[in-house]
Structure 1
Amino acid sequence: MQGGGSTEEKEASRRGRPRDPLVDAAILAAAMDLLAEAGYARLTMDNVAARAGVGKASVYLRWPNKVALVAEAIQHRAAVVPRVPDTGSLREDMLTFLRGLLRGKSAGARALAAVTGEIASNPDLKKAWRQSVTGTLAASVRAIVERAVERGELPAGTDLELLSSVPLTLLQNWRLEHDHGPDDAVVERIVDQFFTPMPSGSAGR
């Protein structure tokens, strides 16, 4: 009688063992540490593997190149993208989310600085950044705006794409035009200007 196991068993064997989340976390943490210490240009997959205490093959099994690894490390280890709140209020949701965004960026400031300084001259990194971090941030803001429309806090015809781009664009521009990053006061100004619905019946007064 010939064995060989079921189709499911053979497929599982071809896929290999499931990824160990502890190894994932160690690699991402190592990448963040090395970004902060040495910068993007000097970071290598070999160095990350050595710092994480794993083989280089374990790193490449999870991320095909340095760009993909760095993009995911920034997104998940620097807490760049906060959870989307659901307080029942557009103003409170946006305040909570944007304040959380500032806190997350502060936590991984050195690693973030290493990456943002490289983005302008590295098209691959710029693309990965947009797909991972920027794309997730934009989707989060849009979710807040969409819920506000559903609750009736914003008109049904609201331009979701345009309005969702406002807070992130303004925060980014603030960093470019000032000697310091935006703080909670700047966040409140943005939210009060664009995301605080007028009280019912107050329009036209």
Structure 2
Amino acid sequence: MAEVATGRRSRITPEREAELYAAVLDLLREVGYDSLTMDAVAARTRSSKATLYRQWGGKAELVVRAMRHGKPERLDAIDTGALRTDLHALVREDDCAMEQNSALIRALAMAMHTNPDLRQAFRDQLIEPEMAAFRSLLQRAVDRGEIRADCPALDFVVHMLAGGFVVRALIEGLPPTQEFLHSYLDAVVLPALGVPTS
């Protein structure tokens, strides 16, 4: 394993870190959060448990970092100059990956209800940074005059988007797809904001 010591905490190369995160996500898909153990991660990645704990502190932190690393695109990197294309850029992930990640997110959402460490790590490292970036994305649209600053739907955009990702699987038993999400954006989210879809 390629590690270089720096003080009390070793540094893992970006390549090794990506390998570890991929293994964590694979294990999560196989066994779920509750059955995932640091022993299993260590065995799968040929790492020592001590290294894993030194780097990430525990299972919740490692899982959230793996989820963050596995995101297809950082929200704060999206700025196409128009809200419609910004929102469509959010769903660029291929359908197979979207299906896997949707199932993973649903499973982790259930685990967060009973695990305060996981819930807090998700809030601190994924939810809050993503919400701040999303508010900036919407503010740019307001600044460009695409959305009225007093549009009542602004407070519900995240809820509408989350619904598109999660509820289709619950109601129809189908994963979200690019086609479904693009249609959903154009039929539901953008009209609610008063944004033209053509």
Mark yes or no: TM-score above 0.5. yes
CA contact 1:94–1:191 (8 Å) conserved in 2 = no
CA contact 2:153–2:192 (8 Å) conserved in 1 = no
Match of 1:100 in 2: 92
Deviation of 1:114 after TM superposition, in Å, equals 3.3
Deviation of 1:110 after TM superposition, in Å, equals 4.5
Deviation of 1:56 after TM superposition, in Å, equals 1.4
Unmatched runs of 5 consecutive residues or more in structure 1: 1-11, 199-205
Farther-moved stretch of structure 1 (87-96 vs 161-170): 161-170
TM-score normalised to the size of structure 2? 0.74
CA distance in 2, matches of 1:174, 1:120: 18
CA contact 1:154–1:197 (8 Å) conserved in 2 = yes
Match of 1:49 among 42, 48, 53: 42
Secondary structure of 1:197's aligned partner: coil
Secondary structure of 2:7's aligned partner: helix
Structure ID, larger Rg: 1
Is 1:86 aligned to residue 79 of structure 2? yes
Match of 2:185 in 1: 187
CA contact 1:149–1:158 (8 Å) conserved in 2 = no
Match of 1:24 among 5, 17, 26: 17
Deviation of 1:176 after TM superposition, in Å, equals 7.6
Secondary structure of 2:99's aligned partner: helix
Give RMSD over aligned pairs. 3.3
CA distance in 1, matches of 2:80, 2:133: 14
Taking a change above 3 Å as real, the CA distance of residues 178 and 105 of structure 1, as seen in their structure-2 partners, is same
CA distance in 2, matches of 1:167, 1:143: 17
Q: Which has the higher helix share?
A: 2
Taking a change above 3 Å as real, the CA distance of residues 192 and 158 of structure 1, as seen in their structure-2 partners, is closer
Instruction: State the number of aligned residues.
Output: 187
Match of 2:105 in 1: 112
CA distance in 2, matches of 1:109, 1:37: 14
Q: Which has the higher strand share?
A: 2
Unmatched runs of 5 consecutive residues or more in structure 2: none
CA distance in 1, matches of 2:121, 2:9: 27
